[in-house]
Amino acid sequence: MFRNKYKADNDTINPDKALIKYLSVRMKQAQSASEKPEPIHSVVKIKKRRLAHAAAAIAACLAILLSAGGLYLHFNQDQLHPAVNTDQKKHESTDESTEKKDVNNFATYTELYNLIRSMEQTADFGSDEDFISETAPAAMPGNNINGNPIMKGGGATGAATQATQATNGKANSRETDSHSKTNTQVQGVDEADIVKTDGEYIYTLVDGKLKIVSVNGSKMKMLSSIDVGAGSDVKSEYKPLEFYIKDDRLIVLKNKYKIDSDYSSKPRAEIAYDGCYVYNRNCSVVADVYDLSDRDAPKLIGSSGQSGYYLSSRMVGQTLYLITNHNVYDTAVKDSPETYIPMIYSKNKGRIIPPADIYISKEPQGRQYIVVTSVDIANPDKQISSKTVFGCGSTLYASTENLMIASGSNGRNSGGTPVAGRTVPQVAEKTQVSGAVTPDDSAGGSSYTEKNKTTTTTYTNSTNLLRFSLSDGKIELAAKGSIKGNLLNQFSMDEHNGVFRFVTTVSTHTETTSGSGENALVTYTPGTTTNSLYTLNPKLEVIGKIENLAQNERVYSVRFSGDIGYFVTFRQTDPLFAVDLGNPAKPKVLSALKIPGFSEYLHPWSDNLLFGLGRDADLSGRAGYMKISMFDVSDPTDVSEKNKLILDGYYYSDASYNHKAIVISPERGIVAFPCDNKYLIVSYTQNGFVKKAELSVDNYGVNQRGLYIDDVFYVCTNKSITAYSMDNYKKLATLKF
């Protein structure tokens, strides 16, 4: 669809992060100095001026950042340290005396307040980057966490055995069931979606209503429609996001936006259409649990919530894990911890997360918390456990035992930590000769000044990791680590036999500063892009790695399957790498298959076959039609593309970016996914792919889901559910909402 594709294309166009950073500094300077408007003479002139400004700003920027880095270090010499209980009795009143305590040992509200304030005053760039040199001890995050056993069972070996059954990355949606399930990453770990089925009913979230439809073959009937977004008024706005079905329980997750009083005079639609376009600083996420024993009349039996924007969630057994990002703005008021500490809500009562459950990341990246809570859906009015880390996180992976939260940009932008800084003195000219600058008298006889120096700094992006252990709803922060590069998505992370595996795209850029002060010139040069694979132990220490793969390409898809990891990078042709992770300390590239195009989603089809969904490409690297491939991986040292089908005329599928949009069933031998303005069903047999059906849909590819129950295939959109016979894909019936 044009709109989707145009948006997707635009989303890849981003301003340079370094540019944003110095723009930020310039703006702040202008704000404080109420800088006089520059007369605009001509475009060319402006450019020159800017460069001079840029240099000054960059110099200031680096200086500030370095000092900020030092500050964090001072606050947190013990890395992530949980607050101790002795302080808990004081937190209610945020006792002033806590300030006097040794900040290295306590994370009190006051300490956090001071930290937040200090970040405002120095340079909070609010981005996901930090500029603390990796070569300095400050940036080498250790992994010992005071007072927190790394794993129950006493360490790595215990963890390893526990994790074994937990995550076999393989064929997770494979099932012998009579109906399809949401395509999830890890077996035993459910992920929320907008359409689900339990084999008897279809549940779908449409325009804020949760509709329950009994299917009974093609005789579909709507049993009930719950207004899960109810309760919105001029003061608050609910936006249902996703839901879970677990036996007779329905769990609906929704964002709740509190609307500023200033807005309340305006029509709501104008303020908060679609929720995401309107910025609102007071957001929380609510999990409503309904009893479905009578599906004609579902009953709300409880709800709980927490501060922040919905990041993601997982469900393991009866336990829901809810993860949000909570921002702190310039509004922190010392005596009101609620202005800078996230809250958890149950039964409409809020409470501030106690200090014992708050951690401060060693390198807080902006004034942001990640909040993790767990709820037993049998007892939904109360969180089992809640934890928050001051720092941030953007991508997460969960097995049944561990929750991994990664922060860093999501792999599309460069940026990050300077790994090497060196100063290259150029052939220095006497300042008198240049005439452009005044001689520096204070230099005390030196005929040279700093003004002709060139400083080159290379930055490499990186990802910080936090591991939480999960056990029946108990969440414990277990380890912290860091790897080079950025992750693509949740599939870039995996856990197998107690080893955590990551595939990243590592990119560098170089900043060269010539001269200093007003006459400095800063140039940004994008550096190399390479790809890496890291294996980490439960302490999140790197134990094995492969680096410098596929120069100038980036990762397009990743899938781990037991001892083998697959990933695709792309520039012109698609190298599909197969990596042997049998010995995590020595990962080894087994093969790199080069075929035209690339896969954006990989899924283990069987022990010998790997399915890929992506795009075809011509020799210049220009992406063409959608393409699906079946790779023969029976011999990982010689992976081949066994079958492929180019979907002529199709360019875009939600499934490329959202694994929940695809149905993959090796048992039924089908793959089904939305594609442009159709819904495609493709069968796969020994002889290859055969396009079975191109079903017309009524909502242009947005939020379509397919599912099957027995011999009927259903296509769910926000307007209707249509049933098709799986024998011939003839339309059987349509239920319009």
Partner 1 sequence: MSPESLRNARTQNDSVDEILERYAAMVYRLAYARTKNRFDSDDILQEVFMRYIRSAPDCQDEEHRKAWLIRTTINCSKTLLTSAWFRKTAPLSDTLSFEMNERSEVYYAVLELPTQYRTVIHLFYYEDYAVAEIARLLDCKESTVKSRLHRARNILRDKLKGVAFDVQE
| Cβ at position 307, least distance to partner 1 in Å | 11
Query: What order do you get walking across the sheet with 402-407 strand by strand?
Result: 395-398, 402-407, 462-471, 474-484
Stretch that binds partner 1, among 254-262, 313-321, 396-404, 483-491 (CB under 8 A): 254-262
Output b/e per residue, 635-654; b: 16+ Cβ within 10 A.
Answer: ebeebebbbbbbbeebbbbb
Phi, psi (deg, nearest 5) at residue 50 = -60, -40
Nearer to partner 1, 50 or 588 (CB): 50
- Residue 677: Cβ-neighbour burial (10 angstroms; 0-12, 13-18, 19+): middle
User: By CB under 8 A, what part of segment 511-530 binds partner 1?
Assistant: 526
Residue 10 binding partner 1, by CB under 8 A: yes
Question: Cα angle vertex 297, ends 291, 299, to 5°?
Answer: 35
Q: How far is the CB of 128 from partner 1 (least distance, A)?
A: 10
Adjacency order of strands within the sheet including 705-709: 705-709, 712-716, 720-725, 731-736
Binding mask 185-214 for partner 1 (x = CB under 8 A): ------------------------------
Q: Is 428 helix (H, G, I), strand (E, B) or coil?
A: coil
* Contact between 339 and partner 1 per CB under 8 A: yes
16 binds partner 1 (CB under 8 A): yes
Among 3, 74, 430, 730, binds partner 1 (CB under 8 A): 3
CB of 35 to partner 1, least distance (A): 7
Per CB under 8 A, does 46 bind partner 1?
A: yes
Which position among 48, 74, 281, 299 is part of the footprint of partner 1 (CB under 8 A)? 281
Q: Based on CB atoms, which residue is closest to partner 1, 42 or 687? A: 42
Could you say which residues in the range 529-558 bind partner 1, by CB under 8 A?
Answer: 554
Q: Which stretch binds partner 1 (CB under 8 A): 58-66, 120-128, 185-193, 460-468?
A: 120-128
Query: Which structure tokens are listed for 732?
Result: 């059987």
Distance (Å, whole) CA 28 – CA 22: 10
Shorter beta-carbon distance to partner 1: residue 46 or 378: 46
Q: How many helices (H) and strands (E) would you count in the chain?
A: 8, 41
CB 536 within 8 A of CB 502: yes
Given 71, 263, 275, 510, the residue binding partner 1 (CB under 8 A)? 263
Is residue 269 a contact residue for partner 1 (CB under 8 A)?
no
Kindly state the tokens that stand for 724. 């098709």
Closer Cβ to partner 1, 207 or 635, answer by number: 207
By CB under 8 A, tell whether 127 contacts partner 1.
yes
Cα gap 636→694, rounded to integer Å: 34
Measured in residues, the chain has a length of: 737
CB of 26 to partner 1, least distance (A): 7
Instruction: Tell whether residue 157 is a contact of partner 1 (CB under 8 A).
Output: no
- Cα dihedral 436, 442, 446, 452 in deg (nearest 10): -40
Q: Which residues have CB under 8 Å from 81's CB, separation 6+?
A: 104, 105, 107, 145, 146, 147, 359, 360
Instruction: Considering the complex, state which of residue 151 and residue 693 has its C-beta at the smaller distance from partner 1.
Output: 693
Q: Which is nearer to partner 1, 329 or 657 (CB)?
A: 329
Q: How far is the CB of 157 from partner 1 (least distance, A)?
A: 42
Q: Is 113 in the site for partner 1 (CB under 8 A)?
A: no
Closer CB to partner 1, 473 or 701, in the complex:
701
- Applying the rule CB under 8 A, the residues between 298 and 317 that interact with partner 1 are none
Member of 74, 219, 221, 266 binding partner 1 (CB under 8 A): 266
Judged by CB, which is closer to partner 1: 235, or 299?
235
**Alpha helix (H) ranges present in 81-150?**
88-91, 109-121
Binding status of residue 438 toward partner 1 by CB under 8 A = no
Could you tell me the smallest distance in angstroms from the CB atom of residue 624 to partner 1? Answer: 9
With respect to partner 1, which residue has the nearer C-beta, 339 or 725?
A: 339
Distance of alpha carbon 383 from alpha carbon 374, whole angstroms: 6
What's the closest the beta carbon of residue 56 comes to partner 1, in angstroms? 14
Mapped onto helix, strand or coil, the DSSP state of residue 356 is helix
Nearer of residues 261 and 685 to partner 1, judged by Cβ:
261
Q: How many CA atoms lie within 13 A of 51 on its CB side?
A: 15
Contact, 191 vs 660, CB < 8 A? yes
What spatial distance separates the first Cα and last Cα of the chain, rounded to whole Å? 23
Using the rule CB under 8 A, is 363 a contact of partner 1?
no
Tokens representing residue 115 in the block: 């930290």
As a whole number of angstroms, the distance between CA 190 and CA 195 comes to 13
Among the residue ranges 70-78, 334-342, 543-551, 723-731, the one whose residues contact partner 1 (CB under 8 A): 334-342
Tell me how far, at minimum, the Cβ of 189 lies from partner 1, in Å: 30
35 binds partner 1 (CB under 8 A): yes
Question: How many residues bind to partner 1 according to rule CB under 8 A?
Answer: 76
Q: Give the DSSP H/E element, type plus range, for residue 369.
A: strand 368-376
Q: By CB under 8 A, name the one of 106, 201, 566, 570 that touches partner 1.
A: 570
| Residue ranges in 607-626 that form contacts with partner 1 under rule CB under 8 A | 615, 617, 620-623
Query: Is the separation of the CB atoms in 141 and 407 below 8 Å?
Result: no
- Binding part of the chain for partner 1, among 31-39, 354-362, 437-445, 535-543 by CB under 8 A, reads 31-39
Residues 213-242 binding partner 1 (CB under 8 A) are 235
Residue span binding partner 1 (CB under 8 A) among the ranges 223-231, 330-338, 474-482, 508-516: 330-338
Shorter beta-carbon distance to partner 1: residue 426 or 525 = 525
Other CB atoms within a 10 A radius of the CB of residue 559 amount to 24
Under DSSP, is residue 467 helix (H, G, I), strand (E, B) or coil? Answer: strand
Q: Which of 329, 378, 548, 690 binds partner 1 (CB under 8 A)?
A: 329
Minimum CB distance to partner 1 smaller for 397 or for 598: 598
> Which candidate, 702, 684, 695, places its Cα nearest to that of 732?
695
Binding segment for partner 1 (CB under 8 A), chosen from 108-116, 119-127, 169-177, 209-217, is: 119-127
**Residue 51 binds to partner 1 (criterion: CB under 8 A):** no
In the structure encoding, which two tokens stand for residue 565, read together?
């990891």
Task: Please tell me the distance from the alpha carbon of residue 428 to that of residue 415, in angstroms, as a whole number.
Answer: 31
**What is the number of other CB atoms lying within 10 angstroms of the CB of residue 561?**
22
Task: Name every residue whose Cβ is closer than 8 Å to that of residue 355 and which is 6 or more positions away in sequence.
Answer: 83, 87, 88, 91, 106, 107, 108, 109
Q: Which DSSP letter does residue 83 get? A: P
Check residue 30 for interaction with partner 1 (CB under 8 A): yes
